[in-house]
Amino acid sequence: MKTMPAGKFKAQCLAVIDEVHERGEEVVITKHGKPMARLVPLTENQEKPDDIFGFMLGKGRITGDIVSPIFKEEEWDEDVFPPGFRDESK
């Protein structure tokens, strides 16, 4: 693992990216001697998906009833519309 000050990384970032890709070694970028970021090579399974749709397929789970209302109809009317809000004469 190689470390590099942020200023040096800023000046040589494209060359450092190429080096990380070619050698497969990570580079830790420091600021005032403290590690701030890590540049690592991508593996084949880490590459960005081509499409944002479907990339979370199979990662979620539905629990419980998602079809039935969560409130009874009379509770919904009472909570949303206070007395006198609607004109009941129609």
pLDDT tens per residue, range 23-45: 999 999 999 999 999 999 987 66
Here the CATH number for the domain that contains residue 6 is: 3.40.1620.10
Q: Which residues contact 5 (CB under 8 A, 6 or more apart)?
A: 29, 30, 31
In a domain, 58, yes or no: no
In a domain, 59, yes or no: no
Look at the chain and report how many structural domains it folds into.
Answer: 1
In a domain, 35, yes or no: yes
Q: Which residue has the tokens 């419980």?
A: 64
pTM more than 0.85: no
In a domain, 53, yes or no: no
In a domain, 10, yes or no: yes
Cα–Cα distance measured from residue 27 to residue 39, given in angstroms and rounded to the nearest whole number: 5
Rg, Å, the chain Cα set? 28
In a domain, 69, yes or no: no
In a domain, 66, yes or no: no
Show the tokens assigned to 43: 């593996």
pLDDT in tens, 5-25: 999 999 999 999 999 999 999
Q: Which domain does 32 fall in, by range?
A: 1-42
